[in-house]
């Protein structure tokens, strides 16, 4: 069995972080656009149009992630920018939960929390991947 150098692993981490984030954002956006009323009822969100707006906003973000992934080389600043957007999502989610701003159902609370944790995971993968790549180039 051949051991991969840390540089290869971290570059893979960056690419999987960007790709996973793009796929997750796109699928979530499409679901929120196609079925905002059903999702709102299921999760306990009082305004389905808010969910549709979030879905519409996620699609260009997913596109930007794909563009960033396809650049050769991947731009460090762009990855930090996209990761900052993920960070804002996670912080916003934490504020919504902390201040009880949405009357989530139990399932809605679990799903909303899992989405925030998933976004945080993608952010972590992207930041760790790009930081290790930058330090390897120095």
Q: What is the mean pLDDT of residues 48-61?
A: 98
pLDDT in tens, 77-121: 999 999 999 999 999 999 999 999 999 999 999 999 999 999 999
Ranges of H-type helices in 35-75: 36-43, 48-70
Please give the structure tokens belonging to residue 136. 């390897």
What is the model's pLDDT at position 127? 97
pTM score, whole prediction: 0.91
Q: Cis ω on the peptide bond leading into residue 73 (within 30° of 0)?
A: yes
* Of residues 8 and 128, more confidently modeled: 128
What is the model's pLDDT at position 11? 82
Q: What is the mean pLDDT of residues 29-39?
A: 98
Place of tokens 């009323």: 37
Measured CA to CA, the distance from residue 40 to residue 91 in angstroms comes to: 21
CA torsion 36→97→107→26, rounded to 10°? 40
Least confident of 37-41, 62-66, 117-121, 128-132: 128-132
Measured CA to CA, the distance from residue 38 to residue 16 in angstroms comes to: 31
What is the model's pLDDT at position 133? 72
Measured CA to CA, the distance from residue 17 to residue 9 in angstroms comes to: 12
Q: Does 2 have pLDDT greater than 80?
A: no
Any residues with CB less than 8 A from the CB of 132 and at least 6 apart, and which? 6, 7, 10, 11, 13
């Amino acid at each position: 069995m051949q051991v991969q150098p840390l540089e290869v692993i971290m570059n893979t981490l960056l690419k999987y972080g960007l790709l996973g984030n793009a796929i997750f954002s796109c699928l979530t956006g499409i679901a929120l656009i196609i079925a905002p009323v059903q999702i709102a009822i299921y999760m306990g969100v009082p305004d389905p149009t808010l969910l549709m707006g979030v879905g519409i906003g996620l699609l260009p973000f997913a596109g930007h992630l794909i563009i960033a992934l396809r650049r050769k080389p991947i731009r460090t600043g762009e990855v930090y920018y996209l990761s900052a957007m993920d960070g804002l999502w996670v912080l916003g989610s934490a504020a919504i939960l902390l201040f009880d701003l949405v009357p989530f159902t139990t399932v809605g609370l679990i799903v909303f929390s899992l989405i925030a944790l998933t976004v945080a995971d993608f952010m972590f993968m992207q930041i760790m991947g790009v930081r290790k790549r930058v330090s390897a180039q120095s």
